[in-house]
Amino acid sequence: QSKTATESGAPYALYGDNAGNYNAWTPALGSYTLKGTPYTGSGGSGTAGSFLSVGFTVVNNTAAATTARSREGAAGTEARRVGGLQVTAYPNPTPGRISLRFSEPVDGSISYSLYAANGKRLLAARQALPQPVREVGIDLGAYGLANGVYYLAVESRQRRRTLRIVIGDR
């Protein structure tokens, strides 16, 4: 199965969206590679930037562990995932400071990376957790970010979740 799509604004969705609500797609069982390439101009025009690709497998077993392989350009990373991390961010939109609320206590540490809508990583940090917690605060306002849409990837104990964050007027 092959699909090519061009998106000129966030959120970026393979099968498009309607005001941020993603259009449905039910993939057939099998292995897939999703590749995204940013361009300096709209509609896929201008100079191509570094691509990001994510490989995934669709199986008929919701309890199965999956392996996600991510590559940025020629550099690659691999992460094993067993179930997703359940986390929400509020307030969203935010003037800068957000709270991450986890569905279950997390311990050890969390790491997070913030990405611009074009996929560029803007910051990465790790926060030690001396005891199990259900909520963690992050002050994104300290980074001088412009108002707009960002994506916050949160990871704890090899479980990862990416959240759409809107930074509004301060």
101 in the same domain as 67: no
91 in the same domain as 77: no
Mean local confidence (pLDDT), 5-33: 77
Structural domain total, the chain: 2
Residue that finishes a domain, picked among 50, 81, 112: 81
pLDDT at 35: 81
Residues contacting residue 63 through CB under 8 Å, at least 6 positions apart: none
pLDDT digits (tens, 9 = 90+) for 127-138: 999 899 999 999
Parent domain of 42 = 17-81
Handedness of CA 91, 18, 13, 49 (dihedral sign): negative
Q: Is 77 a domain residue?
A: yes
pLDDT digits (tens, 9 = 90+) for 149-159: 999 999 988 88
pLDDT digits (tens, 9 = 90+) for 14-26: 887 776 677 887 7
